[in-house]
Chain A
Amino acid sequence: MRKLSSATRVVALGAVAAVALAGCSAGGNEGTESGSAEIRVWLVGTDTPEEARDLLKETFEEENPGSTLVIEEQSWTGLVDLLTTSLSGSDSPDIVEVGNTQAAAFTSAGAFLDLTEHYEDLGGDDLLPGFVEAGTYEDTFYAAPLYSGSRLVFYKKDALEAAGLSVPTSLEEYISNAEELAAANPGKSGLWWPGQDWYNALPFIWENGGEIAVADGEEWDAQFSSDESIAGLEQVQQLMTTASLAPKDGNETNPQVGYCEGTTLQLSAPSWVKWSILAPADAEAPGCPEEEANLGVYALPGADGGAAQVFAGGSNVAISANSENPELALEALKIILGDEFQTIYGENGLVPAKLSLAETLGTDEVAQASTAAAGNARLTPASPKWADVEAAGLLQDFFVKIAQGGDIPSLAEQLDADIEGILNG
């Protein structure tokens, strides 16, 4: 047996090689589980500053050598459809941002990974409570808060001054201000309000004592046609028809265009619109940085003074149930909810996901207005089907008709029936 035939030698070599290769491949497999992989993060819209994106990518790749993190930007339009198809597929992104009012559609469907046991690691009770609620379904925590941002009113200081007006302190004054601005400046919008922009209409309903929908046992009872809501809707129609020259059927994208052109004197928009307005003139979506000194901002005033009850916009962030690397995704999620990452949101006028970081908002006008607005912010009905109401475009259609001067009571009756059809259907 000393002398192996050459054939045997080849076989033996092959066997050794095979064993060695098998060892390698086993090691390789382990590697993909905890080591090298690509994590895909879907952020929506341009709300998240570039600085935060870079921080996430760099920190993650530093802490997890060999792995990479890719941020893919999606659009808010059609997001529910997109997430439904992509999260259920085999090529699912690992981490997704989702609008807070849309989260329930996915938490209830089992699209997200259960994060209950990581709740404390991610921030625990320091996380924004309203958003934790939005990301929780049947006592299971699926989607963490990402950031919150209420709408603020931006205005041209010189226009308000020229009309002899000052920053309004009540909802009534806000309405009369906008009308007077429009009357004093023919061809310009005293308040730019395109018909599809329904988020801005909610405070008028709430401040008049109305509701969107209330839970009545198992059933939802839509409230747009209540007397209180109709009083608010009349104010909305008044503003849309007398103070706004925005397209009656337009949507709220690119509010900076009219502002920079000079035809929009006031507009109500998420706080990050400040950066759209002040974008360099040669940017892809150009703004007007020279307006910086003239750009004023305040929180929408309530009916009895103070800040109005505004819609608490914002996002949740979750890990896809189909993520191939849930452990790595969790690492990335921890960075996203980390103080460093969240501070960047605060510095950019968005409310961070953690209560303890509230002071990062700073003290400038936007920050003060944001803090005031956030204190009184409210959410849409907590039904898993609410996202479907939004996706069906019912509210856009409704307010387009209001902007055209439609009959409020009959339109509101119809809207209530349609909303109940979806929420209870």
Chain B
Amino acid sequence: MTAPVSTIASAPTAVDGERLVTPGVQPPRFKRPRRRGGFTPYALLVPTLIALAAITFWPLLQLIIISFQEFGRAQVFGAPAPFVGFDNYAAVLADPTYWAVMGRSVAFCVVLVVVTMLAGTLVALLMTRLNAFFRVLLSVGLLLAWAMPALTATIVWGWMFDTSYGVVNFMLTNGLGLDFAQHSWLVEPLSFFFVAGLVIVWGAVPFVAFTIYAGLTQVPEEVLEAAQLDGAGAFQRFRLIIFPYLRSVFLVVTILQVIWDLKVFTQIFALQNIGGVRELTSTLGVYIYQNSLGTGEYGTGGAIAVLTVIFMLAISFLYVRQVVKEEEL
């Protein structure tokens, strides 16, 4: 409990310092160099940086080192790990499986993001129309879906789609009279990704819906009313008023979804244990796991992971740049 107290105690000095320095001393000039409150802000960043260094940068550094080494199971148990330069990277980039996994992950990610954003936006819009009772009911439902651990959710969904005893096959066969007895949902890759996508979107919609709903409450009512008086339909109002107001919210949520969906692991990994062909259904996260922990090739797995990190960083860069832009406006 000491850390927060000390943070609070030192916080006012920063603000005071800023107030003293910035408006008073600086003459209003174009393109003035910004001067902030001296050393204090950096001191305040130190605890965060230490935490980040310990839990993010240190493992990342280890990962990068391993990716340049020959690192197998023997090295895990203490054998020396020789450096092999870019051998691991060359092996990965020359492996057609890697490119297949990459392509599959990106395609799957695009579909997931589009579906999640659409469903999330529609649910958010629905929440603005509902009365208090149903809004609370819907919120609770969304929260429960959100709170459900991904592994638990996947196993329950896996049971529902079970080949022999699943409720989905039962309903389709006995309810609708279709021939779905003993139908395996996971054996065909497209069908596998349909089920996996369902589980992932189901888990991701609540976050999108809540965030966009929060944004929707900030759109001024009078603007919408004026547009309605001018004869704008519901879709036009969304396209011309709501969307521009929430542009930054949409952008940030979309980029977060892209990053999360690209590195999806739990749902795919758990479904592969239930059924399907691993080789045809592995995405980046699972592929890294299979290479490092599965076959004990930590060096190769590390190289794939580092390549993925670079890819994610490029996407995150868009996100950070957008955030910075918003702040400068």
Quick check: B296 and A110 within 8 Å, CB to CB?
no
Name the CB-closest residue of B to A81. B293
Quick check: B277 and A400 within 8 Å, CB to CB?
yes
Quick check: A247 and B184 within 8 Å, CB to CB?
yes
Give 8 pairs: A residue, B residue, CB < 8 Å, sorted on A: A80-B296, A81-B293, A81-B294, A108-B73, A246-B164, A247-B182, A251-B273, A422-B295
Of A121-129, A147-155, A172-180, A385-393, the stretch lying at the interface with chain B is: A385-393
Q: Nearest chain B CB to A114's CB is how many angstroms away?
A: 13
Q: A84-B76, A108-B74, A321-B77 are in contact. Are A401 and B277 (CB under 8 A)?
A: yes
B316 beta carbon closer than 8 Å to chain A = no
Q: A247-B184, A404-B187 are in contact. Are A84 and B73 (CB under 8 A)?
A: yes
What's the Cα separation between A82 and B216 when bound, in Å?
46
Q: How large is the interface on B (under 10, 10 to 19, 20 to 34, 35 or more residues)?
A: 20 to 34
B215 beta carbon closer than 8 Å to chain A = no
Q: Could you tell me which A residues sit within 8 Å of B by CB distance?
A: 77, 80-81, 84-85, 87-88, 105-106, 108-111, 195-196, 245-251, 257-258, 263, 321, 388, 391-393, 396-397, 400-401, 404, 422, 425
B37 beta carbon closer than 8 Å to chain A = no
Q: Total contacts A to B, CB within 8 angstroms?
A: 89
Q: Nearest chain B CB to A342's CB is how many angstroms away?
A: 29
What's the Cα separation between A109 and B76 when bound, in Å?
8
Quick check: B187 and A249 within 8 Å, CB to CB?
yes
Quick check: B73 and A248 within 8 Å, CB to CB?
no
Q: Nearest chain A CB to B271's CB is how many angstroms away?
A: 11
What's the Cα separation between A401 and B296 when bound, in Å?
25
Name the CB-closest residue of B to A387. B296
B226 beta carbon closer than 8 Å to chain A = no
Question: 1/0 per position for B166-189, CB-CB distance to A under 8 A?
Answer: 000000000000000010101100
Quick check: A391 and B295 within 8 Å, CB to CB?
yes
6 residue pairs, one from A and one from B, having the closest CB atoms: A247-B163, A249-B275, A81-B293, A388-B295, A249-B187, A109-B73
Among the listed A84, A87, A111, A397, which residue makes an inter-chain contact with B293, where contact means beta carbons less than 8 Å apart?
A84
What's the Cα separation between A31 and B277 when bound, in Å?
53
Of A105, A249, A397, A400, which is in contact with the most chain B CB atoms at under 10 Å from its CB? A249
Known: A109-B79, A392-B290, A396-B278. 20 other contacts (CB 8 A): A80-B294, A81-B293, A85-B293, A87-B77, A88-B78, A109-B74, A109-B76, A110-B74, A248-B187, A249-B187, A249-B276, A249-B277, A257-B165, A263-B164, A388-B295, A392-B294, A393-B290, A397-B277, A404-B187, A425-B297
